[in-house]
């Protein structure tokens, strides 16, 4: 009897391993594991000096006019690389128009922002610094601020050694991109793709299977399980204005093409389990609800509660391990550092 049982367990285990292999092969047609080294970035050679400078800048609230907000404020590294708000609060307590996306693994997205209007993170980084509802600063003021602190000037020289005047707004963005490129969070899903059968639970594997078979992976694919490609929100059935506000026409604002009305970049789904609320509007807090809405609006599918549960279990396997980040020690202001102002300018 014991022999038969052992043989049965061995057979089941073998069958399980074979099933895992089949699922892994299928998954590798859509997805790729995270790289084990800092990704190379087009037009920006990543060096330790740039990363360190970029970390300082990422944490520095003096990049904002008020001195209240840094990149870290809305891309909080303690809470999944985003804030936990519908849309972010910025200068003068103004509400931003869209939900803050996570900075984690963002370097691997095809383009940045919900509408893909920035080609990469060095282009993206310049946006919030200047946006009136976010950091409300100007490139000139940022440069005055950075140049007023000898330590920053030294760091910029070290990070951009071949430049005559390296302490500038463009290089600020390059350095921030370099730091952000280090924010890679390997997850159980990567371990599974890399060959570890046990990295996903049976429910998570079932969820992965559903995620592919139902068609989610048509858009949410690649190394970031999304983050590339543009699709109308409401491809099959347009959600209500409570979720898809009519005033925000998405990529239409970038391309001015009617076809791009309500078109957004497919959201990258790494760490989605810890980055509620969801969608560009930030109107949905529950991941099960978000999955249900996606299935209906994008696939015309009504998923059972059980199916949704499986998919959410799979999505939780995308929650990765944060890299260790130590808080930087920033240069102190000097007499010539512009003073912060909470004043809200009305154009």
Interface residues toward its own copies, by CB under 8 A:
56, 59-62, 66-68, 73, 76-80, 83-85, 89, 92-93, 95, 273-274, 276, 285-286, 322, 324-330, 332-333, 335, 339-340, 342, 344
Helix (H) or strand (E) holding 244: none
> Residue 118 or 276: which CB sits closer to its own copies?
276
Residue 134 among the catalytic residues: yes
Q: How far is the CB of 305 from its own copies (least distance, A)?
A: 15
Q: How far is the CB of 196 from its own copies (least distance, A)?
A: 22
303 is in an annotated binding site: no
> Residue 254 or 322: which CB sits closer to its own copies?
322
Alpha helices, H only, 96-249: 121-124, 126-130, 139-147, 150-159, 169-180, 188-193, 202-213, 216-219
> Residue 269 or 274: which CB sits closer to its own copies?
274
Q: How far is the CB of 28 from its own copies (least distance, A)?
A: 28
> Residue 128 or 273: which CB sits closer to its own copies?
273
How many beta carbons lie within 10 A of that of residue 102, not counting itself?
23
Those residues with Cβ within 8 angstroms of residue 98's Cβ, 6 or more apart along the chain or in another chain: 87, 114, 248, 280, 281, 282
Helix (H) or strand (E) holding 254: helix 252-255
How many beta carbons lie within 10 A of that of residue 94, not counting itself?
16
Q: How far is the CB of 185 from its own copies (least distance, A)?
A: 10
Q: How far is the CB of 11 from its own copies (least distance, A)?
A: 38
74 is in an annotated binding site: yes
> Residue 38 or 322: which CB sits closer to its own copies?
322
216 is in an annotated binding site: yes
219 is in an annotated binding site: yes
Of residues 49, 110, 119, 134, which has the active-site annotation? 134
266 three-class SS: coil
Measured distance CA(176)–CA(289) in Å, rounded:
34
How many beta carbons lie within 10 A of that of residue 16, not counting itself?
14
Measured distance CA(38)–CA(332) in Å, rounded:
30
First-last CA distance in the chain:
84
310 is in an annotated binding site: no
Q: Are the C-beta atoms of 272 and 77 separated by less than 8 Å? A: no
Closest by CA position to 60, among listed 324, 340, 274, 322: 340
Measured distance CA(231)–CA(88) in Å, rounded:
24
85 is in an annotated binding site: no
Q: Are the C-beta atoms of 134 and 96 separated by less than 8 Å? A: yes
In the annotated binding site for heme c, the residues are 71, 74-75, 91, 216, 219-220, 294
Catalytic site positions: 134
């Amino acid at each position: 009897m014991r022999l038969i049982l052992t043989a049965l367990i061995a057979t089941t285990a073998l069958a399980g391993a074979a099933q895992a292999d089949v699922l892994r092969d299928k998954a590798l047609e859509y997805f790729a594991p995270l790289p084990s080294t800092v990704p190379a970035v087009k037009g920006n050679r990543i060096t330790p000096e740039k990363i360190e400078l970029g970390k300082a800048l990422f944490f520095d609230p003096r990049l904002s006019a008020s001195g209240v907000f840094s990149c870290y404020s809305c891309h909080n590294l303690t809470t999944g690389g985003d804030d936990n708000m519908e849309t972010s609060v910025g200068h003068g307590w103004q509400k931003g128009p869209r939900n803050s996306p996570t900075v984690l693994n963002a370097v691997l997205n095809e383009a940045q922002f919900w509408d893909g209007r920035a080609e990469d993170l060095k282009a993206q980084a310049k946006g919030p610094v200047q946006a009136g509802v976010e950091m409300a600063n100007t490139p000139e003021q940022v440069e005055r601020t950075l140049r007023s602190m000898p330590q920053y000037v030294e760091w910029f020289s070290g990070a951009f050694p071949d430049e005559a005047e390296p302490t500038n707004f463009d290089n600020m963005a390059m350095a921030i991109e370099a730091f952000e490129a280090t924010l890679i969070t390997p997850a159980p899903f990567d371990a599974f793709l890399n060959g570890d059968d046990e990295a996903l639970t049976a429910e998570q594997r079932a969820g992965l299977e559903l995620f592919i078979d139902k068609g989610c992976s048509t858009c949410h694919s690649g190394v970031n399980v999304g983050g590339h490609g543009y699709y109308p929100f409401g491809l099959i059935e347009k959600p209500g204005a409570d979720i898809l506000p009519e005033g925000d026409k998405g990529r239409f604002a970038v391309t001015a093409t009617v076809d791009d009305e309500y078109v957004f970049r497919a959201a990258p789904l790494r760490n989605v389990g810890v980055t509620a609320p969801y969608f560009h509007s930030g109107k949905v807090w529950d991941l099960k609800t978000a999955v249900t809405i996606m299935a209906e609006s994008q696939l015309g599918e009504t998923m059972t509660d059980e199916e949704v549960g499986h998919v959410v279990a799979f999505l939780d396997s995308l929650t990765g391990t944060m890299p260790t980040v130590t808080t930087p020690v920033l240069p102190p202001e000097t007499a010539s550092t512009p003073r912060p102002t909470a004043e809200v300018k009305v154009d």
